[in-house]
Amino acid sequence: MVYLVDDEDVVRDAVAWLLRSRRLLSQGHASAEAFEAALAGAEAGAWPNAPSCLLLDLRMGGMSGLALFERLVDRGFTAALPVIFLTGHGDVPTAVAAVKRGAFDFVEKPFSNNALVDRIEQALAASATALVARGERARRLRGLAELSEREQEVMALVARGLPNKRIADALELSVRTVEVHRAKVFDKLEVASAVELANLLHAARG
């Protein structure tokens, strides 16, 4: 889905027609407020649930596109919902700054149809990649809930980089028992090393 937020009817109509001609679905909104209202109840990590991107006019009456973008960043939506700004020539420096803040790109009006669609398709591909990564992370994090209390204790020490002998001493277990628990932790969380385990736990805390 390509979401388009622009306060000019003619721009929304033209882009919608262009996207239909390229077999891309779109949904238009006349203001940043209208788009934000449509997101009521949406949660980062759950929405969007299909590859999507947002074409966002930088300057609009009411809330600006930049202000909406900042809200989306704060709510954690922009990884799975790449933002492409539509901007006039005078707003290029602002758009460049937004890209540095995490926007996917910007396209100047009047835009080339082919160039715009190319960037949209690239943004949708980035969204698809982000959704796959999000699903993998969620699946691994669910594995944390499946760990026994002892496995969690072993996991915490493994993630700190302790060798099996020190973990065994700390928990008053045999080295062999630690090895078994360690293997179960790695299997349930689908990690292959202590470093990968530590990264997963860091992501979970984030």
Distance CA 51, CA 193 (A): 31
Global pTM reads 0.77
pLDDT at 190: 86
The stretch 177-187 carries a mean pLDDT of 95
> Looking at 122, 138, 154, which one is the last position of a domain?
138
Looking at the structure, do residues 120 and 32 belong to the same domain, yes or no? yes
Phi, psi of 6 (to 5 degrees): -155, 135
Residues 95 and 193 in one domain: no
The phi and psi torsions of 75 (rounded to 5 degrees) equal: -90, -5
Given a cut of 80, whether residue 103 has pLDDT beyond it is yes
In this prediction, residue 193 carries a pLDDT of 93
What is the pLDDT, as a whole number, of residue 205? 65
Name residues whose C-beta falls within 8 Å of residue 138's C-beta, 6 or more positions apart in sequence: 45
Specify whether 117 is located in the same domain as 197: no
How many domains, in total, are found in the chain?
A: 2
Q: Are 37 and 13 in contact (CB under 8 A)?
A: no
- 201 and 105 housed in the same domain: no
* Angle (CA) 8 17 42, round 5°: 70
Which CATH number belongs to the domain containing residue 201 in this structure? 1.10.10.10
Q: How confident is residue 119, by pLDDT bands cut at 50, 70 and 90?
A: very high
List of residues 6+ apart from 78 with CB closer than 8 A: 69, 72, 102, 103
pLDDT greater than 70 at residue 206? no
Same domain membership, residue 82 and residue 49: yes
Summarize pLDDT for 20-50 with one digit per residue, the tens: 999 999 999 999 999 999 998 888 778 999 9
- Whether 154 and 121 map to the same domain: the answer is no
Q: Tell me how crowded residue 146 is: count the other CB atoms within 10 A of its CB.
A: 10
Domain of 85: which CATH number?
3.40.50.2300
Q: What's CA 166's distance to the chain center, in Å?
A: 38
Render pLDDT for 121-173 as a digit per residue (tens, 0 to 9): 999 999 999 999 888 878 877 888 889 999 999 999 999 999 999 999 999 99
Residue 87's domain spans which residues? 2-138
For residue 47, what is the DSSP state?
A: B
pLDDT tens digits, 52-77 = 999 999 989 899 999 999 999 999 99
